[in-house]
Homo-oligomer: A and B are copies of this chain.
Amino acid sequence: MHPVLAYADRIVKLQAPARDEFLGAFVRQEFAKGSRLLRAGQASQHYHFIEQGLVKSSFYKEDKEFIMNFFKENILFTEVNSYLTSAPSKYQLLALEPTIVHSIARPDIERLCREHHAVETLFKQLLAFASVGMMKRISEMLEENATTRYQLFLRERGPLLQRISLGDLAAYLGITQVSLSRIRAGQ
């Protein structure tokens, strides 16, 4: 089964016509390490499914980079603000590894959501998952210091650490790379 369908099926079962139209709307693309699925300033008008590889969503503020999230294999996501408003995205999507992506464009999503209730349910669930994850992130940023946030990242997304730089992890945690190095040294 196509990996996009396997993923979707665990959220909501798509039946025959919706299923085929949904899958048919995806376009496969490969991105080299360092290349961009989305440039900052472009409008995000797709959802992306990562079949293989790793992508970061990040933005710059005066030369400093901050990372909103890492997306690895088996996730269907978008930059939701730009997707909803069609405004230029503050964020870029950059492949941290050679990455195979299946993308579906907004007009197709909107049509499929309109015509197939189950597709709408699927995208509702994606937003629900995103909300839960972001609420957890905000909660941690409020209550935990950088050391604890680093330890939580290790505990919950430990395997990712082998695939990202410590600079990127620091940009995700909201601290400097030097500060993260100090934390790792154990004081």
Interface residues of A (CB under 8 A from B): 59, 61, 64, 66-68, 80-81, 84-85, 90, 113, 117, 120-121, 123-124, 127-128, 130-132, 134-139, 141-143, 174
Contacts and interface: CB of A to CB of B under 8 A. Distances in A.
A174 B137 CA distance: 13
A120 B131 contact: no
Nearest to A132: B81
A148 to B, nearest CB: 11
Contacts of A61: 143
Given A80-B131, A130-B131, A131-B131, 18 more contacts: A64-B143, A66-B142, A68-B142, A80-B135, A81-B132, A81-B136, A84-B128, A84-B132, A85-B132, A113-B121, A117-B117, A120-B120, A123-B124, A127-B128, A127-B131, A134-B135, A138-B138, A138-B141
**Interchain residue pairs A-B with the least CB separation, the first 4:** A127-B127, A134-B134, A124-B124, A66-B142
A138 B80 contact: no
B59 A139 contact: yes
Contacts of A141: 138, 141, 174
Nearest to A121: B120
Contacts of A132: 80-81, 84-85
29 contacts: A61-B143, A64-B143, A66-B142, A68-B135, A68-B138, A68-B142, A80-B128, A80-B131, A80-B135, A81-B132, A81-B135, A84-B128, A85-B132, A90-B139, A117-B120, A120-B120, A120-B121, A124-B124, A124-B127, A127-B128, A127-B131, A130-B131, A131-B131, A131-B134, A134-B134, A134-B138, A137-B138, A138-B138, A141-B141
A124 B134 contact: no
A68 B127 CA distance: 18
